[in-house]
């Protein structure tokens, strides 16, 4: 049986009538803990997963970029120009956005034939967008010797998302996808970009990723509302505290000054932020000591806080966590991402994954009326030249 790399090389040959000279892979990511913290100057803890985006590419002498994705019907041939603007809603805007940024930085590019394939669920919060941006950026950097550092590539890809695609997202996704390391979580301050790779050996556990298959329709408006509420809490605390961000204080200090926040809703939001930031530090310690039971407890605590204090969960994400709490082979579970749908994660004994997946799906179907999608992942490496193929691919 052909492995995924062989299949993609065959697909490239069929598409372009020539072999692919280069192959790259960039993962997706999940945030293990530290939710709705990035815009409060606190710590997030994402990791790269073993699902992501493959890119096979060969130069051409035709002065065009040819884009084909095995995930989409539409394919594109775009002439080499001096600059580009976003056109329509086609997926090619992601690679074109990257190309545009290379040109803007004054780099000379030549024509390319490119074939993409993502085995990551697209549009469900696992950051297939950062994955396609970063794999494109990495490949161009390699092919045209542009000399970008990893951090340059993170920033360039983020700028594609913000300024070319037009989504006001933070830096965590591109950072995790680029700097991810096998069996390490990245404890990252999104404002200062200080980070620490935390040993995260999952032992006989796997990372279950559960896509609720619920669209994140409310996410954007509620996100803006939460940002505003955190701003209000900060202002109230600044009456007596010299702080720049909510996460500049820990829980004991917060408890001492929380009377300054008179709006009970705003108080709840701030409590989540401060306690979640403390949980990230505890989670990093637990992971590096291989204490998955404690890490799992913190995952559940994070979810409960997002549900009750921050109010960004929903019955779908809650159903996943409710079921997980009944299964003794699960160390912990929580929603991940902005909330209101998208994905949850759970730490599940590898040997019990199939049973977990089956029972959870039945529970969820009964409760919600449609099935979730359940994936088993490990903590993988960041972007690079395509080497070993993940076993499940």
Residues identified as active-site: 173
Q: Report the phi/psi class of residue 183: left, alpha or beta, with left for phi > 0 and alpha for psi in -120 to 50.
A: left
- Residue 242 counted as an annotated binding residue: no
For residue 54, CA distances in Å to 68, 118, 167, 205, 282 come to 12, 6, 23, 26, 35
Residue 314's nearest CA partner among 298, 296, 337 is 337
Interacting positions 103-132 with Mg ion (CB under 5 A): 129
Comparing CB distances to ligand ADP, the nearer of 131 and 200 is 131
User: Which does residue 122 bind out of ligand ADP, Mg ion, none, counting CB within 5 to 8 angstroms by kind?
Assistant: ligand ADP
Q: Smallest distance, Å, CB 65 to ligand ADP? A: 14
Give me Rg for the CA atoms of the chain.
22
Comparing CB distances to Mg ion, the nearer of 34 and 125 is 125
Q: Smallest distance, Å, CB 144 to ligand ADP? A: 21
User: Which does residue 146 bind out of Mg ion, ligand ADP, none, counting CB within 5 to 8 angstroms by kind?
Assistant: none
Give dist(CA 35, CA 309) in Å, integer: 12
For residue 124, CA distances in Å to 72, 103, 381 come to 16, 31, 21
Comparing CB distances to ligand ADP, the nearer of 116 and 205 is 116
Q: Is the dihedral of CA 349, 344, 314, 367 positive or negative?
A: negative
Q: Smallest distance, Å, CB 177 to ligand ADP? A: 10
Q: Smallest distance, Å, CB 193 to Mg ion? A: 20
CA dihedral 123, 124, 127, 130 (to 10 degrees): 10
User: Which does residue 119 bind out of Mg ion, ligand ADP, none, counting CB within 5 to 8 angstroms by kind?
Assistant: none
Q: Smallest distance, Å, CB 209 to ligand ADP? A: 12
The one among 13, 22, 60, 71 contacting ligand ADP by CB under 6 A: 71
Position closest to Mg ion via CB: 129
Give dist(CA 207, CA 377) in Å, integer: 5
Comparing CB distances to ligand ADP, the nearer of 135 and 266 is 135
Question: Would you say 173 and 186 are in contact if contact means Cβ atoms under 8 Å apart?
Answer: no
Question: Would you say 20 and 112 are in contact if contact means Cβ atoms under 8 Å apart?
Answer: no
- Residue 324 counted as an annotated binding residue: no
Q: Smallest distance, Å, CB 128 to ligand ADP? A: 3
Residues contacting residue 121 through CB under 8 Å, at least 6 positions apart: 51, 128, 211, 373, 375
Comparing CB distances to ligand ADP, the nearer of 53 and 200 is 53
Residue 99's nearest CA partner among 122, 52, 51, 67 is 67
User: Which does residue 69 bind out of Mg ion, ligand ADP, none, counting CB within 5 to 8 angstroms by kind?
Assistant: ligand ADP
- Residue 313 counted as an annotated binding residue: no
Q: List the structure tokens of 255.
A: 């408890």
User: Which does residue 314 bind out of ligand ADP, Mg ion, none, counting CB within 5 to 8 angstroms by kind?
Assistant: none
- Residue 357 counted as an annotated binding residue: no
Interacting positions 96-135 with ligand ADP (CB under 6 A): 116-118, 122-129, 132
- Residue 363 counted as an annotated binding residue: no
- Residue 126 counted as an annotated binding residue: yes
Q: List the structure tokens of 244.
A: 């720049």
- Residue 129 counted as an annotated binding residue: yes
- Residue 139 counted as an annotated binding residue: no
- Residue 5 counted as an annotated binding residue: no
| Site for Mg ion contains 211 (CB under 5 A) | no
Residue 207's nearest CA partner among 327, 45, 43, 332 is 332
Question: Would you say 27 and 387 are in contact if contact means Cβ atoms under 8 Å apart?
Answer: no
Q: Smallest distance, Å, CB 129 to Mg ion? A: 3
| Site for ligand ADP contains 91 (CB under 6 A) | yes
Comparing CB distances to ligand ADP, the nearer of 266 and 335 is 335
Helix (H, G, I), strand (E, B) or coil at 198: strand
Position closest to ligand ADP via CB: 118
Give dist(CA 137, CA 390) in Å, integer: 22
Alpha helix stretches (DSSP H) within the chain: 4-16, 93-104, 128-143, 150-159, 172-179, 219-238, 251-257, 264-288, 292-308, 315-326, 353-368
Binding residues for substrate: 35-38, 223
Binding residues for Mg(2+): 129, 161
Binding residues for ATP: 69, 123-129
- Positions in the binding site for Mg ion (CB under 5 A): 129
Binding residues: 35-38, 69, 123-129, 161, 223
- Positions in the binding site for ligand ADP (CB under 6 A): 53, 69, 71-72, 91, 94, 116-118, 122-129, 132
């Amino acid at each position: 049986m052909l492995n995924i790399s062989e299949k993609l090389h065959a697909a490239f040959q069929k598409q372009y009538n020539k072999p692919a000279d280069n192959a790259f892979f960039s993962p997706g990511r999940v945030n293990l803990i530290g939710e709705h913290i990035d815009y409060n100057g606190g710590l997030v803890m994402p990791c790269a997963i073993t699902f992501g985006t493959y890119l096979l590419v060969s130069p051409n002498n035709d002065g065009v970029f040819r884009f084909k994705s095995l995930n989409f019907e539409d394919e594109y041939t775009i002439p080499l120009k001096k600059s580009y603007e976003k056109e329509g809603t086609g997926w090619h805007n992601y690679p074109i956005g990257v190309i545009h940024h290379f040109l803007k930085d004054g780099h000379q590019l030549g024509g390319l034939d490119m074939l993409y394939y993502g085995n990551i669920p697209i549009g469900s919060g696992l950051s297939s967008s950062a994955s396609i941006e970063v794999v494109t950026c990495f490949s161009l950097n390699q092919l045209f010797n542009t000399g970008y550092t990893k951090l340059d590539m993170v920033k360039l890809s983020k700028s594609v998302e913000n300024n070319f695609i037009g989504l006001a997202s933070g830096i965590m996704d591109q950072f995790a996808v680029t700097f991810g390391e096998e069996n390490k979580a990245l404890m990252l301050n999104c404002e200062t970009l200080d980070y620490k790779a935390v040993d995260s050996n999952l032992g006989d556990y796997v990372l279950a990723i559960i896509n609720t298959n619920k669209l994140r329709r409310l996410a954007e408006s509620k996100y803006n509302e939460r940002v505003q509420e955190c701003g209000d809490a900060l202002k109230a605390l600044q009456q007596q505290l010299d702080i720049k961000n909510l996460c500049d204080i820990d829980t004991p200090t917060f408890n001492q000054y929380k009377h300054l926040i008179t709006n009970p809703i705003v108080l709840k939001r701030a409590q989540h932020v401060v306690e979640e930031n403390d949980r990230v530090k505890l989670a990093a310690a637990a992971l590096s000591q291989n204490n998955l039971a404690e890490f799992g407890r913190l995952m559940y605590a994070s979810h409960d806080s997002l549900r009750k204090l921050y109010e960004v969960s929903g019955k779908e994400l809650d159903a996943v966590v409710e079921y997980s709490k009944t299964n003794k082979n699960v160390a912990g579970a929580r929603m991940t991402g902005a909330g209101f749908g998208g994905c949850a994660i759970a730490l599940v004994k590898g040997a019990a994954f199939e049973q977990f997946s089956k029972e959870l799906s039945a529970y969820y179907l009964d409760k919600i009326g449609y099935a979730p999608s359940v994936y088993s992942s490990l903590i993988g490496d960041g972007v690079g030249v395509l080497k070993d193929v993940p076993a499940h691919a």
